[in-house]
Amino acid sequence: MTNLSVNINKIATLRNARGENVPDLLKVAADCEAFGADGITVHPRPDERHVRRDDVYRLRPLVKTEFNIEGYPSEEFLDLVLQVKPEQVTLVPDAPDALTSSAGWIVGDNLGFLTSIVDRLRESGIRSSIFVGTDVDNIVLAAKTGADRVELYTKPYADLYPEDPETAVAPFVEAAGAAFSVGLGVNAGHDLSLVNLAFFHRNIPRLSEVSIGHALICDALYLGLENTVRAYKECLR
């Protein structure tokens, strides 16, 4: 069974628009878990435009499933995650002002840096995942950092899926196979949706986790949060 981790950043963005506590981020996280989500994901950015540092501290004791924190591994970010100790940290190469994650690591150019970060996370008992594209050589290098998993950046799949699903998924099947062959677990995320998730999962059934936020929260506006979480879970059966 592939786990569904719900990224709740968009809930925080909506809350921050009014400067109050509506919607309540903590309640939404708890509700997602109650409705069947296997994990909660947050991506605290330096400008705190959605999830804030204090949200992360408040969420930690409340999340009963798996807590996944995404971010660029600056010293500030590492200080946060080493204090909070989530089950997983996903390392992304975003610039501080990035609108959203839009590319994976070029591991060869950052091998020493990523290895040192992975070592620090492991010493604290935190599972590490490195955000990457589908280049097989790059994924093989990711294993050399000592990371536990890679997360495949799936926007290229989502973009091509409506036109040619088989062609869209093929490089991800190859990338996942390469990761499994060198002992890495495989997560996936970015632009996965009710339209394309089931096909992706059928072709890569050994996925450990998908992390989904924007599409899931948009669907919840029409379907309701409970129905939406259950619909995404159904895509992973």
Q: Which residues participate in catalysis according to the annotation?
A: 43, 70, 190
Question: What tokens were used for 94?
Answer: 């975003």
Q: In angstroms, what CA-CA distances link 134 with 93, 158, 188?
A: 15, 14, 11
Residue 189's nearest CA partner among 41, 35, 72, 1 is 41
Q: In a 10 Å sphere around its CB, with 0-12 CB exposed, 13-18 middle and 19+ buried, how is residue 104 labelled? A: buried
Residue 40's nearest CA partner among 60, 24, 12 is 60
